[in-house]
Structure 1
């Protein structure tokens, strides 16, 4: 029997599979735990091929090589799983965009609690 490997998280003494740090990439669920479309693996492959494996976000810290697929307009703000709403992204850009979208979500929630109107950036309604 082969011995397990040590968890990849620095300083964690657990062997894999680590109960504290599960694997990061799962293609059947989003990072927020929402179910992805049944054909997500295929759709992801099509988007990465269409964008030639190059990050389309190009934010500061971009590594250029894409391994993630981003919803241009997130589900939380009315986005869909249509291929036109998907773009290849490097992990750094995808993480930064996700953080920005989380901040926007908090701002939207606060505005709605105050009874204010809120629109997604770029919407001109």
Structure 2
């Protein structure tokens, strides 16, 4: 019986040859299909648990699901909630967690506007 041909690692541009289809040892962590963007912390561990989800829903309802940031390229349909004064900046001002998550410091945002604002703040 003929030997099976080797396959290339599924990671783009890796080129490692394998006996079975999949990822090489260097890229084995990609087998999961997704990686958390904030280390190994879940959204709840980062402060976005059930209470935040209820608050988020209230803010989206209050703003009628419309983006309040309205930058160029805005899609207008809000699916996210943004801290007007970002958490890091608010903490540097001495704000408490209650002040940071106060409804007056939250606004509805479309993904495009929220991403752009967050990148500027970072």
TM-score by length of 2: 0.58
Which protein shows a greater Rg? 2
1:95 aligned residue: 115
Cα distance in 2 for residues equivalent to 1:37 and 1:51: 21
Cα distance in 2 for residues equivalent to 1:64 and 1:45: 17
Cα distance in 2 for residues equivalent to 1:35 and 1:42: 13
Change (3 A) 1:23 1:77: closer
Question: Quick check: which one's helix share is greater?
Answer: 2
Cα distance in 2 for residues equivalent to 1:61 and 1:86: 21
TM-score by length of 1: 0.57
Aligned to 1:29, which of 7, 32, 43? 43
Q: How many pairs are equivalent?
A: 84
Root-mean-square deviation over aligned CA pairs: 2.9
Unpaired runs of at least 5, structure 1: 1-10, 103-125
Unpaired runs of at least 5, structure 2: 1-11, 13-21, 24-30
